[in-house]
Structure 1
Amino acid sequence: MEDDNRVTDAIPQPATPAPDPGWERAALERLLTAQLTEQRAARRWRVTLRLLWLGFLAAVAWALFAHSPSSPTTSSPHTALVEIQGEIAVGTEAGADPIVSAMRQAFEDSGSQAVVLQINSPGGSPVQAGIINDEILRLKALHKKPVYVVVQETCASAAYYIAAAADKIYVDKASMVGSIGVLMDGFGFTGLMDKLGVERRLLTAGENKGFLDPFSPQSEVQRAYAQSMLTEIHQQFIQVVKKGRGERLKETPEMFSGLVWSGEKAVALGLADDFGSLDHVARDVVKAEDIVDYTHRENVASRLVRRFGASMGEGAVHAMHRLRWSVR
């Protein structure tokens, strides 16, 4: 028994490895490196943000002072021009606010002999068009100055709603004029949702509150209500056209159906008066060949400032996300 113990004692036992004396130093170095990396990222972000703000403020100053629009007032006889280009909607250059403001300035100028609205628009909001139409009638009566419309490529729908208030409408033979109608469009996805097994859960207070929701079925009652509303607005449009054009209209069954007519056909139907360009109207109709543009346009600097501000905000969000990820 004693011999067995001696044999066992003679077998070498595995040594326990001694701890590496440098592991604490390595861990501390990694921790310090990570902290320095985070600090550098935060410092770069602060510097970048300050530079962006500095550039933004410089652009704002440039837009406000270096390129501020001046009032084109003049006492010499001239034809006042206001352009209506593109979609007629809130927030656009063809919306009611900029157009009405430009028209008021044109009418109030003592040198303007007449106001010409040069239109190239497929239409837009009936509300915005109605505001402009009403203001044309008011300003004409107040200042006793005529208003003429010169159509370029298109004067349709809400654009023609505006044009109907003018004393005369001049077109090119190939212009597109009319589209006296109203539409409400959208999509319905109920069939697709059924195929995909998707259930729409819409909660409303009022049985018809969600009748325009594209993910909910539309009842016949709701469809009839929407159609009656469109018909009502359509009749308003028709009355504006009849009041503005008067006996010059040669009504046909299709006139108020929403069809668009060529400029030549529009003259034949009484939707327009004659053929003519802006220069022709100023020279031969108004008898004031000098044209002064009163259109309110957003200058290039303002557009750049707005886009720069949006880009900077988006960049800030992404940068903050990156910063949060680096800190974690």
Structure 2
Amino acid sequence: MKHLIPFLKRPPVVPVIRLHGSIGIGRSSLSDAALAAVIEKAFKMKPAAVALSVNSPGGSPVQSSLIAARIRRLAEEKGVKVHAFVEDVAASGGYWLACAGDEIWVDDSSIVGSIGVIFASFGFPELMARQGVERRVVAAGKSKSLADPFLPQKPEDIERLRALQAPIHEAFIAHVKARRGARLADADLFNADVWVGQKAVELGLVDGVAHLVPKMKALYGEKVRLVPLGQKRGFLSRFGLSLAQDLMLSVEDKALWARYGL
């Protein structure tokens, strides 16, 4: 109640934005639309700083870019410092989000990096042939059936996909360089490798090993008030109810986490 009494000195406030999960447009995924109100609220609280709690294996590069850009835009408008704290993993799009922080802190066992772009799918042409199923496709435009999982993979499809990936990878690299600057070691950091804890510190991908609560108390005082904020789950999601589409998204989500042993 003390913070409601105007003549008493209020403790510094640090909102903690929870960025946990894969990044995309599913109901349970992190997206700019779902997080917009949360991020706006954090910067309206006249905070001493904003903390990001990041635990993400990645996902959509566009949503990663939009979320990070919103955080940076508000941080610069309000003149507020942003600290990112990585839990299990900040890989691919998860690291893109972490780079929205002015400083990035990790646990000794946190996995960081994967600065790359991936396209993954399945192919079923042999299964189709064994089952006597004929694939019939009529398309206007030679690239309309790009990477069709029911047809054999074609060299021109691979070339086309790599051409699509290149500018996304370049944008990711530019974002990391812009945010980390001279802190980055002179090493090949952009080939989608991942690093753990202290090694990521040595490479300049993060700033140090620290946990959120003690670090915020060390920087802003023992009385700092940490206010957790996160996107709300839908009514159906709270009870484990979802559509068939969400089942597929769940499988993809588990596959993303599994790449890092989680």
TM-score between both structures, scaled by the size of structure 2:
0.82
Change (3 A) 1:238 1:276: same
Distance of 1:170 and 1:130 partners within structure 2: 20
Answer whether contact 1:102 1:294 (CA < 8 A) is retained: yes
* Structure 1 alignment gaps of length 5 or more: 1-72, 311-328
Report the counterpart of residue 99 of structure 1 in structure 2: 35
Report the counterpart of residue 235 of structure 1 in structure 2: 170
Report the counterpart of residue 22 of structure 2 in structure 1: 87
TM-score between both structures, scaled by the size of structure 1:
0.66
Change (3 A) 1:210 1:302: closer
Structure 1 residue 219 displacement after superposition: 2.7
* Structure 2 alignment gaps of length 5 or more: 244-262
Which of 148, 156, 168 lines up with 1:213 in the alignment?
148
Report the counterpart of residue 280 of structure 1 in structure 2: 214
Structure 1 segment 21-100 matched on structure 2, within 5 A: 76-90=11-25, 91-92=27-28, 94-100=30-36
Report the counterpart of residue 96 of structure 2 in structure 1: 161
Matched to 1:99, the amino acid is L
Structure 1 residue 94 displacement after superposition: 2.2
Report the counterpart of residue 34 of structure 1 in structure 2: none
Measured against aligned partners, the alpha-carbon deviations of 1:16-37 in whole angstroms (never above 9, x if no partner) come to xxxxxxxxxxxxxxxxxxxxxx
Measured against aligned partners, the alpha-carbon deviations of 1:102-135 in whole angstroms (never above 9, x if no partner) come to 111010112x111100011111111110001111
Answer whether contact 2:21 2:30 (CA < 8 A) is retained: yes
Distance of 1:272 and 1:306 partners within structure 2: 36
Looking at both structures, which has the greater relative contact order when contacts are Cα pairs under 8 Å and sequence separation is at least 6?
2
User: How many residues of Structure 1 are paired with residues of Structure 2 in the alignment?
Assistant: 234
Measured against aligned partners, the alpha-carbon deviations of 1:195-240 in whole angstroms (never above 9, x if no partner) come to 4443211111111101121012333222211111112211111110
Report the counterpart of residue 131 of structure 1 in structure 2: 66
Percent identity of paired positions between Structure 1 and Structure 2: 34
Structure 1 residue 92 displacement after superposition: 2.4
Report the counterpart of residue 8 of structure 1 in structure 2: none
Which of 124, 141, 155 lines up with 2:76 in the alignment?
141
Structure 1 residue 304 displacement after superposition: 5.0
Task: Report the aligned-residue RMSD.
Answer: 2.2
Higher helix share: 1
Report the counterpart of residue 224 of structure 2 in structure 1: 289
Structure 1 segment 153-232 matched on structure 2, within 5 A: 153-232=88-167
Which has the larger displacement, 218-227 or 178-187?
218-227
